[in-house]
């Protein structure tokens, strides 16, 4: 058997050891799409019940100050895998693709003898044939011909999954050796799920026909009562594939890393079956209305005017403002989607226990970004990097210490790669920008005092004349945000104003703080480069 070597640092000296001779943990990484941190029972949600996810937190560390590297799906998911910020890894906004040659921590795990699996939503490549905002298919083709370059083969593209049978993804796929692909959102996801759905639902065309929507009295945008039964819904497919995978790993000598990714509770709002009626809009409140903000920013004002004028969204993914009733409806349906995920998590963890693997498995729970979910009457996500969309849940449950704890340590998605590799006894790859927070899970101190958040829009929305370019720096005390070529910005006192209701950008009493934060974010932006290895011979 070939040796796989790990390394650890003791008293400043690096010691190598054979990983085949050392018990290495499995990893079950559970992740949702567009779930803010406070939408879990264990994070204090007053209505939503998530007993199975709470049970993971009851045997691990719950992070209260964990932030996305980018509050949008694709860039942040690429940051999770690469340990790099979007400016460096290249997937800067939705619609780009992570370069196929990108180093990921999954590559490192696989190279050290781990079996690696991605089950569910990946979203490292476009899973739509639609051109980016402001572009036509003809303009993209013309540009491609002008550059005469061959792009990557997009394995998440819808055309791959239209034939009968199962599309075989070319592996390793960003380090994954096994892939059960799910693309898009809602009840009509694509990928391997769609192929499975068509095989298992003889009436699949009728189930996909919007004319067959079940009756309901919801009027909020994107509320849709799907006729698809629970056992054929994407959450059930991901649950069952994860259970199958975990069961197949029982009795194996090699450890595994399983990335189990649910497309919900991302809109559209369409929980199936019993989950549609599980929560009522009357159960929820809009606790932070638009009027609670003392000096709304220009994009917030634009959204307000757009709402009052009755204008719609630029795209289905664009942030919007809604009245209280519509927001409460969206909350109730999102809670139903989360309830289904929580039940699925319970089944997955049970399979881990029944397979005899739980005592050797680190369980993580995370989300790729949040949702405004009623804050200042806003819904979905956008250019304003409020805590509702940057702050996400993260739970680490480790067999070395199955005890409940919580921490206010500041952490970022870019830190996940270094942390998982650290726990596996492996060194990060070159160019990793994150820092391992493993000591925090053992009661130690946090490793960072500042977190950078990048946001790049793929089109001009929310009143911006060109696609928004936004950078934020978050500390325990402040959130500082600059917008490219804008004369205004944001500065919030997170200690005295945790809901971010008063922008102190123009406050005369806070210009020293603003200057200090400006200097600090400049240092972070200077650091956004790929640190390549240096030659031993310096010219």
Say what the pLDDT of residue 134 is.
55
Average pLDDT estimate for 19-28: 75
Say what the pLDDT of residue 146 is.
42
pLDDT digits 0-9 by tens, 198-236: 999 999 999 999 999 999 999 999 999 999 999 999 999
**Token pair recorded at residue 230:** 């629970």
Say which range, 217-221, 346-350, 428-432, has the weakest mean pLDDT.
Answer: 428-432
Indicate if the pLDDT at residue 9 is higher than 50.
Answer: no
**Token pair recorded at residue 452:** 């950078």
CA atoms within 13 A on the CB side of 37: 20
Mean pLDDT taken over the chain: 91
* DSSP symbols for 227-246: -S-GGGSHHHHHHHHHHHHH
Say what the pLDDT of residue 500 is.
98
- Residue pair 183/166 in contact (Cβ under 8 Å)? The answer is no
Indicate if the pLDDT at residue 1 is higher than 50.
Answer: no
Q: Say which residues have a Cβ less than 8 Å from residue 468's Cβ, sequence separation at least 6.
A: 299, 383, 455, 456, 457, 460, 461, 462, 483, 484
Q: Say which residues have a Cβ less than 8 Å from residue 489's Cβ, sequence separation at least 6.
A: 480, 481, 482, 483, 505
CATH fold, domain 21-132+152-445, is Alkaline Phosphatase, subunit A (3.40.720)
Return the CA Rg of the chain.
23
**Token pair recorded at residue 220:** 């909020």
- C-alpha distance from residue 179 to each of 170, 259, 418 (Å): 9, 10, 23
Q: How many CB atoms lie within 10 A of CB 386?
A: 26
Say what the pLDDT of residue 151 is.
52
- Smallest CA-to-CA distance from 389 within 500, 466, 307 is with 500
Say what the pLDDT of residue 483 is.
98
Say which range, 1-5, 221-225, 397-401, 525-529, has the weakest mean pLDDT.
Answer: 1-5
**Token pair recorded at residue 483:** 């917008």
Average pLDDT estimate for 408-421: 98
Query: pLDDT category, 337, cuts 50, 70, 90?
Result: very high
Say what the pLDDT of residue 37 is.
98
**DSSP label of 361:** E
SS (H, E, C) 445-508: CCCCCCEEEEEECCCCCCCCCCCCEEEEEECCCEEEEEECCCCCEEEEECCCCCCCCCCCCCCH
Report the C-alpha dihedral over residues 71, 106, 191, 197, rounded to 10 degrees: -110
**Token pair recorded at residue 214:** 């079940």
Average pLDDT estimate for 69-74: 95
**Could you give the percent of the chain with pLDDT greater than 90?**
83
Say what the pLDDT of residue 195 is.
97
At residue 525's C-alpha, the angle toward residues 521 and 526, to 5°, is 115
At residue 299's C-alpha, the angle toward residues 88 and 327, to 5°, is 100
Query: pLDDT category, 516, cuts 50, 70, 90?
Result: very high
- Residue pair 222/267 in contact (Cβ under 8 Å)? The answer is yes
Between 67 and 15, the more confident residue is: 67
44: left (phi over 0), alpha (psi -120 to 50) or beta: left
SS (H, E, C) 98-157: CCCCCCCHHHHHHHCCCEEEEEEECCCCCCCCCCCCCCCHHHHHHHHHHHCCCCCCCCCC
Say what the pLDDT of residue 150 is.
45
Query: pLDDT category, 94, cuts 50, 70, 90?
Result: confident
- C-alpha distance from residue 318 to each of 34, 72, 332 (Å): 13, 11, 20
Residues 494 and 476: their CA atoms lie apart, in Å, by 7
Say what the pLDDT of residue 21 is.
39
Residues 98 and 90: their CA atoms lie apart, in Å, by 6
**Could you give the percent of the chain with pLDDT greater than 70?**
90
Q: Say which residues have a Cβ less than 8 Å from residue 506's Cβ, sequence separation at least 6.
A: none
3-class state of residue 269 by DSSP:
strand
pLDDT digits 0-9 by tens, 162-177: 988 899 999 999 999 9
Residues 171 and 438: their CA atoms lie apart, in Å, by 30
Average pLDDT estimate for 415-420: 98
Average pLDDT estimate for 20-24: 62
Tell me which H or E stretch contains 365: strand 361-367
- Smallest CA-to-CA distance from 321 within 389, 384, 387, 377 is with 377
- Per DSSP bridges, beta strands 26-33 and 361-367 are parallel
Q: What are the boundaries of each domain within the chain?
A: 21-132+152-445
Tell me which H or E stretch contains 28: strand 26-33
pLDDT digits 0-9 by tens, 438-461: 999 999 999 999 999 999 999 999
pLDDT digits 0-9 by tens, 116-148: 999 999 989 887 766 555 555 554 455 444 433
Place of tokens 């289905």: 316
β-strand partners of 479: 474, 492
At residue 479's C-alpha, the angle toward residues 124 and 122, to 5°, is 10
Indicate if the pLDDT at residue 482 is higher than 90.
Answer: yes
Convert 291-330 to b/e letters by CB count within 10 Å (16 or more is b): ebbeebbebbebbbebbeeeeeeeeebbbbbbeeebbbbb
């Amino acid at each position: 058997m070939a040796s796989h070597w790990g390394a650890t640092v003791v008293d400043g000296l690096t010691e190598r050891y054979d990983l085949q001779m050392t018990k290495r943990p499995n990893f079950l990484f559970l992740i949702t799409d567009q779930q803010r941190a406070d939408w879990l029972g264990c994070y204090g949600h007053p209505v939503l019940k998530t007993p199975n996810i709470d049970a993971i937190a009851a045997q691990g560390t719950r992070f209260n100050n964990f932030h996305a590297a980018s509050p949008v799906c694709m860039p942040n998911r690429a940051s999770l895998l690469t340990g790099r910020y979007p400016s460096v890894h290249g997937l800067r906004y939705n619609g780009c693709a992570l370069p196929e040659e990108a180093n990921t921590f999954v590559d490192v795990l696989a190279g050290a003898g781990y079996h690696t699996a991605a089950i569910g939503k990946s979203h490292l490549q476009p899973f739509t044939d639609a051109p980016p905002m402001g572009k036509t298919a003809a303009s993209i083709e013309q540009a491609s011909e002008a550059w005469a370059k061959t792009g990557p083969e997009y394995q998440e593209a819808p055309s791959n999954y239209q034939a009968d049978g199962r599309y075989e993804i070319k592996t390793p796929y960003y380090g994954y050796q096994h892939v059960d692909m799910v693309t898009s959102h809602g009840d009509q996801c694509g990928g391997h799920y769609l192929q499975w759905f068509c095989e298992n639902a003889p009436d699949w065309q009728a189930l996909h026909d919007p004319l067959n929507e079940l009756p309901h009295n919801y009027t909020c945008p994107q509320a849709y009562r799907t006729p698809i039964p629970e056992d054929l819904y994407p959450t059930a497919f991901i649950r069952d594939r994860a259970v199958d995978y975990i069961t197949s790993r029982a009795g194996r000598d090699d450890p595994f890393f399983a990335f189990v990714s649910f497309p919900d509770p991302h809109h559209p709002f369409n929980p199936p079956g019993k989950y549609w009626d599980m929560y009522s809009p009357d159960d929820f409140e809009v606790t932070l209305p638009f009027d609670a903000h003392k000096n709304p920013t220009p994009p917030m004002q634009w959204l307000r005017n757009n709402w009052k004028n009755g204008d719609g969204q630029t795209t289905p993914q664009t942030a919007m403002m809604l009245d209280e009733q519509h927001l409460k409806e969206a909350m109730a349906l999102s809670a139903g989607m989360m309830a289904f995920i929580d039940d699925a998590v319970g089944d997955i963890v049970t399979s881990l226990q029944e397979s005899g693997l739980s005592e050797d498995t680190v369980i993580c729970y995370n989300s790729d970004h949040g949702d405004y979910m009623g804050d200042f009457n806003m819904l979905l996500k956008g250019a304003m990097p409020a805590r509702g969309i940057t702050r996400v849940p993260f739970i680490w449950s480790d067999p070395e210490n199955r005890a409940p704890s919580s921490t206010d340590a500041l952490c970022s998605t870019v830190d996940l790669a270094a942390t998982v590799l650290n726990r596996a006894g492996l060194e990060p790859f070159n160019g990793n920008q994150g820092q391992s927070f493993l000591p925090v899970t053992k009661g130690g101190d946090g490793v960072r005092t500042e977190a950078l958040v990048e946001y790049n829009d793929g089109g001009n929305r929310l009143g911006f004349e060109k696609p928004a370019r936004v950078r934020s720096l978050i500390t325990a005390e402040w959130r500082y945000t600059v917008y490219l070529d804008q004369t205004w910005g944001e500065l919030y006192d997170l200690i005295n104003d945790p809901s971010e209701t008063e922008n102190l950008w123009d406050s005369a009493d806070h210009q020293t703080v603003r200057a200090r934060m400006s200097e600090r974010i400049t240092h972070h932006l200077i650091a956004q480069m790929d640190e390549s290895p240096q030659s031993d011979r310096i010219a």
